[in-house]
Amino acid sequence: MLIDEPAIGLSPLVVQDVFKLLRKLAEQGTTVLMVAQNVKSALKMADDAIALESGQLVLHKKASELLADPNIERLFLGGGHVAPAAEKTAP
């Protein structure tokens, strides 16, 4: 199943129900490919996460690893696959 932005325009309670239903479908054997900007909610129900930038794969990790990453906002709000300026070494 391919689903794009399942949380758009829905109340928070309905969003929870939608994600529970998607997780149940996945547990029953349905492959679910979801595109979502509600990253934390999507990662909570996902097994894996993939990020594309300009059509190129820039990140592929287990969803649980990303949820535990203290830099999750930076990862999904731009430039997460590149070390921040403070971490880069000078030439």
Q: Which residue has the higher pLDDT, 81 or 22?
A: 22
**Tens digits of per-residue pLDDT, 20-78?**
999 999 999 999 999 988 888 888 889 999 888 888 888 899 999 988 887 777 767 65
54, 83, 36, 23 alpha-carbon torsion, rounded to 10°: 130
43-79: string of b/e by CB count within 10 Å (b at 16+)? Answer: bebbeebebeeeeeeeeeeebeebeeeeeeeebbeee
Give the pLDDT score at 39. 83
Give the pLDDT score at 53. 80
In this prediction the pTM is 0.69
